[in-house]
């Protein structure tokens, strides 16, 4: 089974209070608004692309995000549903390339491109641990 260009999948996500930008305040000077955080929208976009790759994973493999290039176009309020639709656009070397669009009840709120790689979970975790060990 091969992944065909144009394959799509989507995720519908109800925006909760914990998903709002106002929860991302790191310092007292931050004053982010009570709307869907860009970081959470990016996570939703990544998950919709990852969902497409699930049938192609072998045991012990997972897909990881490698790159994102997005534009957050409009605010989404708590309680609204954001729908992220990913479309497989093809391969870029060993990377899987996707275009992604997010809409809410009022229309388009985000768009962009995303690349993912399929990796061995064991190799990924081993590499992460080796990076830390070199610091000690």
CATH of the domain at 96: 3.10.129.10
How far apart CA 13 and CA 1 sit, in angstroms, is: 29
* Full DSSP string of the chain: --PPTT-EEEEEEEPPGGGBGGGG--STT----SSB-HHHHHHHHHHHHHHHHGGGPPTTEEEEEEEEEEEE-S---TT-EEEEEEEEEEEETTEEEEEEEEEETTEEEEEEEEEEEEEEHHHHHHHHHHHHHTT-
- Asked if the structure places residue 1 within a domain, the reply is no
The DSSP bridge partners found for residue 80 are none
Q: What integer pLDDT is reported at residue 130 of this predicted model?
A: 87
The pTM of this model reads 0.92
How far apart CA 47 and CA 11 sit, in angstroms, is: 8
- Asked if the structure places residue 5 within a domain, the reply is no
Mean pLDDT for all residues in the chain? 94
Range of the domain at 25: 11-133
* Full DSSP string of 53-67: HGGGPPTTEEEEEEE
- Asked if the structure places residue 74 within a domain, the reply is yes
Number of domains in the chain: 1
How far apart CA 113 and CA 31 sit, in angstroms, is: 28
pLDDT in tens, 35-89: 999 999 999 999 999 999 999 999 999 999 999 999 999 999 999 999 999 999 9
- Asked if the structure places residue 83 within a domain, the reply is yes
């Amino acid at each position: 089974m091969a992944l065909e260009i144009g394959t799509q999948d989507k995720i519908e996500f109800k925006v909760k209070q914990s998903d709002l930008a106002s929860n991302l305040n790191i310092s007292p000077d931050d004053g982010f608004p009570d709307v869907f955080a860009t970081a959470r929208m990016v996570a939703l976009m990544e998950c919709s692309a990852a969902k497409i790759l699930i049938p192609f994973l072998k045991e012990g493999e997972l897909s990881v995000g490698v790159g994102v290039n997005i534009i957050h176009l409009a605010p989404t309020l708590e309680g609204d549903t954001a729908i992220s639709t990913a479309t497989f656009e093809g391969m870029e070397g060993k990377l899987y390339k996707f275009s992604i669009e997010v809409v809410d009840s009022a229309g388009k709120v985000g768009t962009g491109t995303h690349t993912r790689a399929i990796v061995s979970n064991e190799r990924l975790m081993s590499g992460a641990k080796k990076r830390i060990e070199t610091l000690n």
